[in-house]
Amino acid sequence: MPTSRLVIATLLVASALNLALMVPGGFVETRDFSAYPSIVLGAFNVFLTVLGLGSLVLAYTVTKAGRGCGWSALAGFAFVGVYLLDLGRIFPVPSNPMSMLLATLEWIGTGLGVALATASLILSRRAMANAAPAVTPSLPRPVVFGLVLLALIIVAFATKSAMGI
């Protein structure tokens, strides 16, 4: 496997793991978001969960088939956007302040996102220049079912925790 694919897959996994550390109700994210309607928090948690789990699926796709670089770049930009919105106190804005650990992890996530987007765009250009048809591996149905179930559990837990319930 080319080193560039390994770099992108590693950045995707690192970004997903970094994001997972910040799930509301966990060890790092302890702020109260109860001022937001549950539908807003739920939608935001769905987005974050799809971003995190989708990054793991993308890492698999990039590793196995060398495809998905464009989506990986988009994921990198999404990570950067999410973290900068929070660090800039644009969204979400809770009443209690962000901990130093959370801010540090968000800055690390921003750096990972920039590196991911950059590496993905570079590899995407190379892949287009050497366009060869490749078969995209598909995940087995039990894995897809497990990811959907995991996503539902994460969204429910994160939304409940963020609401302070």
- What is the residue-wise DSSP string for the chain? --HHHHHHHHHHHHHHHHHHTT-TTSSS-----TTS-HHHHHHHHHHHHHHHHHHHHHHHHHHHHS--HHHHHHHHHHHHHHHHHHHTT-SS--SSPPPHHHHHHHHHHHHHHHHHHHHHHHHHHHHHHT----PPP---HHHHHHHHHHHHHHHHHHHHHHTT-
Bond prior to 137 in cis (omega within 30° of 0): no
Structure tokens that stand for 148 in this block: 């959907």
**Local structure of 92: helix, strand or coil:** coil
Find how far residue 32's CA is from the centre of its chain.
21
- pLDDT greater than 90 at residue 118: yes
Which residue shows structure tokens 């495809």?
Answer: 67
Query: Percentage of the chain surpassing pLDDT 90?
Result: 72
- pLDDT greater than 70 at residue 136: no
**Mean predicted confidence (pLDDT) in 98-114:** 97
User: How many other CB atoms are there within 10 angstroms of residue 75's CB atom?
Assistant: 27
- Given pLDDT bands bounded at 50, 70 and 90, which one contains residue 123? confident
Lowest mean pLDDT among 46-50, 67-71, 102-106, 161-165: 161-165
- Containing 142, the helix (H) or strand (E) segment is helix 141-162
Q: Convert the pLDDT of each residue in 16-73 to its tens digit.
A: 999 999 998 888 998 999 999 999 999 999 999 999 999 999 999 999 888 899 999 9
pLDDT at 33: 92
pLDDT at 1: 59
pLDDT at 135: 57
Q: What crossing angle do the helices spanning 69-87 and 3-20 adopt, rounded to 10°?
A: 30
pLDDT at 115: 98
For the ranges 33-37, 105-109, 128-132, the maximum mean pLDDT occurs at: 105-109
User: How many other CB atoms are there within 10 angstroms of residue 23's CB atom?
Assistant: 19
- pLDDT greater than 60 at residue 121: yes
Q: Is the dihedral of CA 10, 114, 19, 21 positive or negative?
A: positive
